[in-house]
Amino acid sequence: MDIIRQRKNLISKIVFQMATIIGIVALLILMFSIFNEAFGYVIFVNEKSPHEIFNSEKNLGEATKEELISILEDNISKGLMRRFNFEQSFSERSAENILELVMTEVVNPKIVKAWSLTSSLFGKKKIIETLKNDYPKGNLEFRSWLSPNFLLSPQSSIPEKTGIITALTGSLMLLLIAIILAFPLGVGTAIYLEEYAKPNRLNNLIQLNIYNLAGIPSIIYGMLGLAVFVRFLEPITSGKIFSQTINSTANGRTILSAGLTLGILILPIIIINAQEAIRGVPKSLRFSSFGLGATQWQTIWHHILPYSMDRILTGSILAVSRALGETAPLILGGASTFVAQKPDSVFSKFTALPIQIYQWTARPQPEFRKVAAAAIIVLLVLLLTLNAGAILLRNHHSKKKKG
C-alpha cells in the first residue's frame, strides 16, 4: 500500500515538473527565434562605392567638409543641392551631417541579403562564398537590426532605414491616455463597490457584469471604440470641437479614441484588482479606525487606500502591460499602418508597436522580418520593465506593512 502511495506521489511530481519544463522550453524557443532574427550578417551593395567618388587613399569618414561638399556637387543634381542648401545652408551644416547626405544620396548602400544569427555564427564560409559568387561588389557586415538608429528613426519603406519611433511614441501616448482614464475610474469604482455599496440585487448585477467585462474579447472593445469614440464622439476625439486645425484626415481615428478604447478595455481588470486589494485590508484596521471616531472617508483615505495601494498599483501595471500588447481594438479603432511622422498631439493619426510588428511581418521583403524581430525585442523590454516595476513596488510596500 505504502509503496503505491509513494509511487503515485513520485509520478505526480514528475508530471508537474514536465509541465514546467515544457513551458520554459516553449519560452526559450520563442526568445531564440526572436533574437535569431534580430542579429546577423548582411550583404550590402553601394550604388557608388566610396572609392569611386572620393579619389583618395583616405577613408570617406576622414574627408574634410569641403571635400564632402564637392563630392555632393559632382554626384547630385543642382536642384537637389539648392534644396539641401535651402533647408540648412551648407556653411552651417556640420561635417557629420554632410557625410550623412553623401551616404544617403550618393553612396546609398542597399541590403541585398541578410542572414539569421545562427547561420551567421555557424555558416560563415557559405556566406563568404555567396558574397564572392553572387555579389562581387557587395560588402559583408555584421548588423544588429536593433540599433539606436532603429529606435530613433521614423517609419520608412526601406528596411535598413526604417525605425520604431512613431510606433513607440504612439504606444506610450496610448498607455498614458488609458491610465489617465482607467486608473481613477477603476479605483473609484472599486472603493464604491467594496466600501459603500450594499449587497443588493442591483449591485450584485453590476459586480457580475464587471467580471464578465474582464473576459470579453478585446475586438469587442474595438467595436465599441469604433462606434463611440471614432464615430459618435468624432467632434471631440478629432479635436475639431477645440477648433484645432490639425490634420483632418484622421476623422476621429486618433490617439485619443484608441487610448480611450484601451482605457475602457483595462477598466474592469483594474476594478477587479483594486477590489481584491481593498478586500485584503484586515478588518481590524477598519475597526480600529472607526473605533476612534473616523468617518468612512477618513478610514478609506488614511488607512484602506495606503494599505492596499501596492496591490492596486501592481494590478494596474499588469493591466497596462496587457493594453500595451493589444492589437485588435487598435485595428478597429483605425490605427494607421503607415505613419511617417511622430504623433505630435492626442489628435494625431498614430500607429502602435503591435500593429507595426504585424505590418512588418506581413511585408514581402525578408529583411522586414528582421526589423519586426527587433521591434518585438523593444516591445518585450517595455513589458518586462513594466512588470519588474510592479514587482519592485510590491516588495517595497510589503516591507513597509510589516514594519
The binding site for other proteins (CB under 8 A) comprises 198-199, 282, 284-295, 298, 302-303, 307, 400-403
Percent of the chain that is helix, strand, coil (3-state, to 5): 70, 5, 25
Q: Which of 219, 262, 220 is nearest to 350 (CA)?
A: 262
286 or 349: CB nearest other proteins: 286
Cβ 309 vs Cβ 238: under 8 Å: no
232 or 301: CB nearest other proteins: 301
CB of 291 to other proteins, least distance (A): 4
The count of C-alpha atoms lying within 13 angstroms of the C-alpha of 301, restricted to the half-sphere facing its C-beta, is 5
CB of 30 to other proteins, least distance (A): 41
Distances (CA, A) of 94 to 65, 69, 89, 108: 8, 11, 10, 20
Q: Could you tell me the strand order of the sheet in which 109-114 lies?
A: 109-114, 39-46, 139-144
254 or 299: CB nearest other proteins: 299
Determine the longest span between alpha carbons in the chain, in angstroms. 95
Element (H, E) at 46: strand 39-46
What b-and-e string marks burial along 6-20, b requiring 16 or more CB atoms within 10 Å of the CB?
eeeeeeeeeeeeeee
88 or 295: CB nearest other proteins: 295
54 phi, psi to nearest 5 deg: -120, 95
CB of 196 to other proteins, least distance (A): 12
Cell numbers given for 36: 535569431
34 or 294: CB nearest other proteins: 294
CB of 276 to other proteins, least distance (A): 19
83 or 396: CB nearest other proteins: 396
307 or 350: CB nearest other proteins: 307
CB of 198 to other proteins, least distance (A): 7
CB of 188 to other proteins, least distance (A): 21
148 or 199: CB nearest other proteins: 199
211-214 CB contacts, 8 Å cutoff, 24+ apart: 211/268, 211/272, 213/267, 213/268, 214/268, 214/269, 214/272
CB of 286 to other proteins, least distance (A): 7
CB of 207 to other proteins, least distance (A): 15
Q: Where are the beta strands (DSSP E) in 92-175?
A: 109-114, 139-144
79 or 291: CB nearest other proteins: 291
Distance, in Å, from the CA atom of 403 to the CA atom of 392, rounded to the nearest integer, reads 17
CB of 189 to other proteins, least distance (A): 19
DSSP-assigned letter for residue 141: E
